[in-house]
Structure 1
Amino acid sequence: MILERISILGYKNIEQAELTFSPKLNCFIGNNGMGKTNLLDAVYYLSFCKSHNNQVDSQNIKHDADFALIQGYYLLGGAAEEEFFCSLRRRQKKQFKRNKKEYEKLSDHIGCLPLVMVSPSDSDLITGGSEERRKFMDVVLSQFDKDYLHALIRYNKALQQRNALLKSDMQADDSLYELWEEQLAYEGHIIYAKRKAFIEQFIPTFQYYYNFICQSNETVELKYESQLEDENQVALLKQKRERDKILGYTTAGIHRDDLDMRMDDYSIKKVGSQGQNKTYVVAMKLAQFDFLKKAGSTTPILLLDDIFDKLDSTRVEQIVKLVSEDNFGQIFITDTNRDHLDEILKDLNSDYSLYQVEGGGINQLK
């Protein structure tokens, strides 16, 4: 899959941009706060119908504008170029179209444009709560498995309904609880089985990328943790029901799943240095890319946002070797340090484009 060109109007600090991209490597250089990440976020939005770092759509519109437009033109394997269009307007529902035809449901679009983004906020995978780690699994699986995506949507709706009952001042009949608990158990079993199978396939690739980047004898592990490993969810929900009424929310289910992230038999959250943590999450994202490429029908786009910060020269060199290989398709990379980009470009035997980003303006240098 190749993003050939993009048109952006009023998205974050980008007033207007019309850009044509290299099918291999696209490098964006500029100081912090100039708009490099915003450009990558516009590409991310076209894949996921939402921002990578701001879930409130109105806040993604340039502060002095009434709307934002993102228009991308892709080659997806067919002969014809395909157009994807997104329109954000204040106090209105966003529009998403493929070849000028609007989607009935945004979920129908997810997976059409597979993408992996590596960014500084990925540190939340280690330092943040379990929600961040569940989101990681959801983002991967939802891009190629529609059954998983739909089960997740139905599970979350049933969870909202049960939570509403728990918070209600009126006494609800047990049969109402049983209705939502049975749906939570049914959808939860699908999600649990698919997450478990995914992590089992994912671990060897993740360990390979970590070892390649760090070039040391550090051992990393990743373990999927779920209450469903040892419990029947219907029985568990019934058992927790009275306690959940006091708390006002559901305390059992796959929405409590987590990933145990370890290095040398210890929690990486407790023992990892900044460089080790960064290497850990970069390896996870590269393994995510590898998994999506093998599972899907097209090569994902890879977005690398300021990934060299907090890494020593050896790890930077190893990442440069990886992204220069033919295994990766189209890559977008940002950095404040021109030296990092020049190091990648000198070893690249294919086409590339280079851009300068300043104050929301983007100028092509090559």
Structure 2
Amino acid sequence: MLSQLLVRDFRCFAEAKLALHPATTLLVGNNAQGKTSLLEALCVVLRLQSPRTSTRTDLIRFGTRSCLVEASLGDHQLRFAQSATTRRLAVDNVVCTRSPDYLQSSARVVWMDHSDMLLVRGGAEHRRRYLDFAAAQLNPGYLHALRHYERLLRSRNHLLKRDAVINWRQADAYAVALEEHGHFISQCRAQLAESLTPHVNTAHAALSGGHEIAQIQYQPGFDPNGLAQQLRDARADEERTRTTAAGIHRDDLQLLVNDRPASAFASEGQQRSLSLALKLAQVTTLTQATGSPPLLLIDDVFGELDHTRRRALLNALPQDTQKVITTTSVDWITGDFSPDGWQYHVDKAALGPLVPVGSRL
């Protein structure tokens, strides 16, 4: 369990230190006061990834040179520090030069927020990011392979755009390298989608009252017979578009409700239920794969749900999963759902005193 978080010069916080309850910790306050930044700090120190930015220097408080995030996780002390040019990691005061070494001592995370609706409504990049965040927590080599693939893809696309006459020999060499990493990533995504499918259906049934059937189907962005050959066959298209025509960067996850594409035929309520079900399925899949439940970070979700879906989601949240939740009010905490836990009021990047969950401030 995560027991403590310390941030210094992180986002809007000069410094903040908070204890985390084994069950539920609420961060309550108006918008733009720093609640989400504390959730982000937890994600960064545990997974070395932010759900809000890919630019690490965005994490540093304006006017300062570096930021620090420390967390107590079981018997381990985790430390993440970022300057304009350098990231420094440590576990129990021992410096880690490699991310995998650090992550071995960390924990899994599932992040839920209002933007999850983009999983259903948005482009394929949102669904690929959904798969990547979970797959990277299940496969130690996944993130390394994905970063290599992305660098190769940028280089190949630059080559396709650079000259009036494309150097196909060099482009084909890049294609072979893309195939090597892409095959591994595609396998991981396909296995993950297969594992998620029954849990998405179960979670969606719980959220919809059992009246609807949800399905997900992994759609690879290249021919399983070989990416390199497919790209050689697509030279005419690539010469016209000057971009790589196939690969895992074109993968997608088809989402269905009652056998119909959710983006086109599902109502807003059905889409919201499906997006929540996708995240709940991540929790179950990570728990079954690793033997321990992930930390559940929930950013201001309950205020956007109607009473029925809010109650269904609260009932669907795994009881044995540690949760940190941001919210603008505690009105949704009732006799039906009054969790054991602690609560902080967040105002202008400062924390109020710790009180029991549900306290009106």
Instruction: Give the TM-score taking structure 1 as reference length.
Output: 0.89
5-14 vs 241-250, which deviates more?
241-250
For 1:342 and 1:172, locate their aligned partners in 2 and report how far apart those are by CA, in whole Å: 65
Partner of 2:55: 56
Cα distance in 2 for residues equivalent to 1:333 and 1:344: 17
Q: Which deviations, in whole Å up to 9, do the C-alpha atoms of 1:117-176 show, x marking residues without a partner?
A: 101121221222111111111111111212333332332232233223212328565442
Partner in structure 1 of residue 349 of structure 2: 360
Identity across the alignment (%): 25
Query: Matched residues in 1 for 2:188 and 2:3: separation?
Result: 34
Which AA in structure 1 matches 2:3? E
Q: Does 1:135 align with 2:135?
A: no
Task: Kindly indicate whether residue 186 of structure 2 is the aligned counterpart of residue 188 of structure 1.
Answer: no
* Stretch deviating more after TM superposition (188-197 or 149-158): 149-158
Amino acid at match of 2:88: Q
2:255 paired residue number:
261
Which structure 2 residues correspond to residues 326-337 of structure 1 after superposition, within 5 A?
Answer: 326=319, 328-337=320-329
Three-state SS of the structure 1 residue aligned to 2:31 is coil
C-alpha distance after superposition, 1:274-329 (max 9, x if no partner): 33222211110010011111111432101111111332212211222223x53x32
Alpha-carbon displacement from aligned partner over 1:5-44 (angstroms, at most 9, x marks no partner): 0111121122211111111111121111121111111101
CA gap 1:268/1:217 in 2 versus in 1, 3 angstroms:
same
Does the 8 A contact of 1:320 with 1:344 survive in 2? no
- Return the alpha-carbon distance in structure 1 between the equivalents of residues 27 and 167 of structure 2: 59
Task: Please name the residue that 1:34 is paired with.
Answer: 33
State the alpha-carbon separation in 1 of the partners of residues 355 and 6 from structure 2.
Answer: 18
Residues 344/103 of structure 1: CA separation in 2 closer, same or farther (3 Å cut): farther
Matched to 2:122, the amino acid is G
TM-score (norm 2): 0.90
Cross-structure match for 2:79: 85
User: What SS class does the counterpart of residue 31 from structure 1 fall into?
Assistant: coil
Aligned equivalents of 2:276, 2:177: Cα separation in 1: 36
SS in structure 1 at match of 2:64: coil
Aligned pairs for 1:107-256 within 5 A: 107-110=100-103, 112-169=106-163, 173-228=167-222, 231-256=225-250
Matches of 2:162 and 2:120, distance apart in 1: 35
Q: Measure the CA separation in 1 of the matches of 2:9 and 2:321.
A: 29
Retained in 1: the 8 A contact 2:45–2:69?
Answer: yes
- Contact 2:222–2:230 (8 Å) recurs in 1: no
DSSP 3-state at the match of 2:304: coil
Measured in 2, the distance between the counterparts of 1:341 and 1:55 equals 34
Match in the other structure for 2:359: none
Q: Is the 8 A contact 2:314 2:337 kept in 1?
A: no
Show CA shifts across 1:43-94 (max 9, x none): 011122232112222222222433221111111xxxxx211111122x3222
Structure 2: unaligned runs, 5 residues or longer: 357-361
- Match of 1:95, as an amino acid? R
Equivalent position amino acid for 1:43 in 2: L
Q: CA deviation at 1:229?
A: 5.3
Match of 1:9 in 2: 8
Distance between the aligned counterparts of 1:139 and 1:228, measured in 2?
Answer: 21
Given that 1:335 and 1:341 are in contact with CA atoms closer than 8 Å, whether structure 2 keeps it comes out as: no
Q: Please, which runs of 5 or more residues in structure 1 have no aligned partner?
A: 76-80
Name the SS of the counterpart of 2:234 in structure 1: helix
Q: Is the 8 A contact 1:275 1:312 kept in 2?
A: no
Aligned counterparts of 2:196 and 2:67: Cα–Cα separation in 1: 37
For 1:241-268, what per-residue CA distance to the aligned partner results, in whole angstroms no more than 9, with x for missing partners?
3432442321211110001112233322
Report the CA distance shift for 1:247/1:108 in structure 2 as closer, same or farther (over 3 A): farther
Looking at structure 2, the residues matched to 64 and 343 of structure 1 have their Cα atoms a distance apart, in angstroms, of 45
- How far apart are 1:230 and its partner, in Å? 5.7
Which deviates more, 166-175 or 22-31? 166-175
Q: Retained in 1: the 8 A contact 2:90–2:102?
A: no
Which residue of structure 2 aligns with residue 78 of structure 1?
Answer: none
CA 1:273–1:223 in 2, change beyond 3 Å: closer, same or farther?
same
User: For this pair of structures, how many residues does the alignment match?
Assistant: 354
2:95 counterpart of 1:105: no
Question: Shift of the alpha carbon at 1:343?
Answer: 4.8
Query: Residue 214 of structure 1 contacts residue 314 of structure 1 at CA under 8 Å; is this kept in 2?
Result: no
Distance 1:359 1:342, change over 3 A: farther
Letter in 1 for 2:321: G
Query: Cα RMSD (Å) of the superposition?
Result: 2.2
